Amino acid sequence: MLLKLNRIIMRLAAGLLVVVGIVKIISSYSGVAYLSHFDPVLSFLTNRTLILLAGGIEIVLAVIIFLRPQSWVARYGLLSLCFMFSVYRIGGVALGVQSPCPCLGRASDWLHITPHAADEVALSLLIVFSLIAIISFAVQSILSVSRKRSCGRISI
C-alpha cells in the first residue's frame, strides 16, 4: 500500500515537472525583452538561459521519476531540485530583488494572471515538490525498516 502511494505521488510530481518544464521552455522563446536581461540572482546568465536550463532540468528529472519512481536518484533529484529553487529564492531575498520570481517564465501572460500571482503559484509548487520529496523519503524509510524487521535483522 505504501509503495503504491509512493509511486503515485512521485509520478504526480513528475507530471507537474513536465508541465512546468514545458511552460518554461515555451515561454523562453517568446519575444519578451526581459528574457534578454541578466538574472538578478545569477547575474552571469540571462533570464532566457536560466529559464531554459531550469525547464530542461525539470523535464530530465521528470523522465527519471517516470522510469524509476522508487529509485534514490529520483528522490534525491527531486529533493536537490527543491533545494536549488529554495536557494535561488533566498538569494533573491538576500539581494533585495523586489520583482516577482520569473520562475514560470511568461506563463502569467498566457494565464492572464499577475506576475505576483504566478510567483505565488511557483512558490506553492515548490512547497508541493518539497512535501512530495519528504513523504517519499519517509515512506522509503518505513518500508526499509519494515523489510529489515521481517528478515529478522532488527529485534525489539
> What is the extent of the structural domain holding 77?
2-144
- Overall number of domains in the chain: 1
149 assigned to some structural domain: no
Cβ pair 90, 41 in contact under 8 A: no
Contact assessment for residue 104 and residue 118, using Cβ atoms and an 8 Å cutoff? yes
**Residue 86 is assigned to a structural domain of this protein:** yes
d(C-alpha 59, C-alpha 93), whole Å: 27
| Residue (of 137, 136, 142, 129) closest to 7 by Cα position | 136
pTM for the predicted model, two decimal places: 0.83
Give me the tens of pLDDT residue by residue for the chain, a chain 156 residues long: 778 888 899 999 999 999 999 988 998 888 778 888 898 899 999 999 999 999 999 999 999 999 998 888 999 999 999 999 999 999 999 999 877 666 666 667 777 788 788 888 888 999 999 999 998 888 888 877 777 676 655 555
Determine, yes or no, domain membership for 151: no
Phi, psi of 152 (to 5 degrees): 85, 15
Residue 30: inside a domain, yes or no? Answer: yes
